[in-house]
């Protein structure tokens, strides 16, 4: 049994190593394409290059919180630890990418809008999203009973995910400084709205961020598994 577990651990480590290598390669190619190959934007100049990081960051944050939503729903339904581990792991990474999105947006906003921050509807709702999931992480650390903490966090994770549709629709529902989508528009194909070189740079960096996300998720999920294994061993020894 221990030999089988050891083999699975080695296979998992090898797969994470391959994923890490692919991630590093994709990041290098994405940065090269975004900084060197792609031309400056016709209106924003080189300031636009931050979008090669900003857009993938927020999309990965959305993906993270979607997995929190899925994992939380499954945990409340089946009460399986692996679902809670998935939600917890995704929430931590989602907080990281949401904070990164806000920082990148501020760097872009300073030369574009003249301010680092403004109480724009989309920016405010994104900040609320960050605070909700920081609260999610704090809730898990403050509630001592593990099952109660997982259940309470699952409910908050599900409610927090509902902020994402508001963020997406905010540029349509309210007057905001934030521009509407330039790529995913219903009236035109993506390649009709953006120069092919810029679109290619964005696509490569998005793939790089997806690989980076799943690399982080695999590491964080494994940490959760190891933590649970240690708890089980301590209980068995105590018994």
Long-range contacts of range 228-234, CB-CB < 8 Å, 24 or more positions apart? 228/81, 228/85
pLDDT digits (tens, 9 = 90+) for 205-237: 999 999 999 999 999 999 988 888 888 787 777
For tokens 């090669």, the residue is 52
Q: What is the mean pLDDT of residues 131-143?
A: 94
- Selected residue with higher pLDDT from 110 and 191: 110
At residue 192, does pLDDT exceed 60? no
What sign does the dihedral 106-108-110-114 (CA atoms) show? negative
Burial (CB < 10 A; 0-12, 13-18, 19+), residue 42, is exposed
Residue ranges per structural domain of the chain: 2-238
Calculate the alpha carbon distances from 189 to 81, 186, 207 in Å. Answer: 43, 8, 20
pLDDT digits (tens, 9 = 90+) for 10-60: 777 888 889 999 999 999 999 999 889 888 877 777 788 889 999 999 999
Calculate the alpha carbon distances from 78 to 18, 74, 83, 239 in Å. Answer: 32, 6, 9, 27
pLDDT digits (tens, 9 = 90+) for 86-126: 999 999 999 999 999 999 989 988 887 888 888 888 899 99
- What pLDDT score does 6 carry? 64
- What pLDDT score does 138 carry? 95
CA-to-CA distance for 199 and 190, rounded, in angstroms? 8
Q: How many CA atoms lie within 13 A of 206 on its CB side?
A: 13
- What pLDDT score does 188 carry? 55
- pTM score: 0.88
Residue 208 tokens read as 């790089």
Query: Which letter does DSSP use for residue 143 in this model?
Result: -
- What pLDDT score does 85 carry? 95
CA-to-CA distance for 211 and 183, rounded, in angstroms? 22
CA-to-CA distance for 38 and 211, rounded, in angstroms? 22
- What pLDDT score does 3 carry? 47
At residue 186, does pLDDT exceed 70? no
CA-to-CA distance for 98 and 64, rounded, in angstroms? 10
Calculate the alpha carbon distances from 43 to 39, 47, 112, 189 in Å. Answer: 12, 9, 10, 20
SS3 117: coil
Calculate the alpha carbon distances from 61 to 2, 66, 168, 225 in Å. Answer: 37, 9, 13, 23
Burial (CB < 10 A; 0-12, 13-18, 19+), residue 72, is buried
Q: What value does the mean pLDDT of the chain take? A: 87
- Selected residue with higher pLDDT from 64 and 42: 64
């Amino acid at each position: 049994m221990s030999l089988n577990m050891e083999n699975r651990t080695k296979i998992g480590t090898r797969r994470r190593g391959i994923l890490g290598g692919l991630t590093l390669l994709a990041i290098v190619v994405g940065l090269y394409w975004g900084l060197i190959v792609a031309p400056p934007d016709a209106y924003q100049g080189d300031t636009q290059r931050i979008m090669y990081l900003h857009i993938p960051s927020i999309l990965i944050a959305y993906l993270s919180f979607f997995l929190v939503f899925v994992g939380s729903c499954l945990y409340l339904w089946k009460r399986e630890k692996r679902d809670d581990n998935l939600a917890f792991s995704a929430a931590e990474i989602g907080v990281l990418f949401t904070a990164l999105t806000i920082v990148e947006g501020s760097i872009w906003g300073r030369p574009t809008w003249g301010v680092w921050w403004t109480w724009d509807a989309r920016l405010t709702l994104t900040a609320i999203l960050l605070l909700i999931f920081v609260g999610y992480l704090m809730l898990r650390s403050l509630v001592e009973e593990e099952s109660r903490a997982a259940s309470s966090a699952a409910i908050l994770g599900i409610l927090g995910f509902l902020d994402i549709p508001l963020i997406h629709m905010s540029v349509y529902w309210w007057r905001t400084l934030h521009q509407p989508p330039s790529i995913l528009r219903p009236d035109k194909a993506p390649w009709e709205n953006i120069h092919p070189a810029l679109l290619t740079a964005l696509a490569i960096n998005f793939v790089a961020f997806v690989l980076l996300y799943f690399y982080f998720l695999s590491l964080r999920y494994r940490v959760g598994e190891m933590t649970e294994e240690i708890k089980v061993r301590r209980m068995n020894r105590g018994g």
